[in-house]
Structure 1
Amino acid sequence: MIFSILQVLWQAVFLAWHIYCVCFNIRTDEFIHWKRYPEFQHTVQPESGETVRGMKFKNPYDKGILQNLKEFIDARG
């Protein structure tokens, strides 16, 4: 019974992660290694007194949850 509970727990986390990826139109590799892909890098301008520019994650492929779900369901391939 303990083994079954552990299996369901990790599979629930796995399912939740994939639902998140579908909703925000991103692959796991892109999310983990976003600094390797220039299209995901958004330069943040330093505020007054700061000298270092920062980089933030920005997904250019995200079209909104409903449109992303529609594209995923309508995907042929």
Structure 2
Amino acid sequence: CWSKVYDDPANPQTGFCAVMTCSEADANCPIVRGALDRVSLPYVDPKEADDTPEEAARYDERCLQIATELWYVMQQAAR
């Protein structure tokens, strides 16, 4: 997994739901071409912990939070 822009060739070009997880992306990408839907689901950016002893823990915490919440969403969508 890596951070990439939504139109990266590795991503689908049509028929997807764009989930904006940071307020900056939400504000700067009002239209996501090819998306069937666009959802704003902002999280606190862990970058404030960069270059501190808490950096890895903060990124791990946010990753787990996002993964847990999106797993729930996908389970509900599959019903």
Q: For the pair shown, which has the larger CA radius of gyration, 1 or 2?
A: 1
Q: Which has the higher contact order (CA 8 A, sep 6+)?
A: 1
Instruction: With the length of structure 2 as denominator, give the TM-score of the two structures.
Output: 0.28
Instruction: With the length of structure 1 as denominator, give the TM-score of the two structures.
Output: 0.28
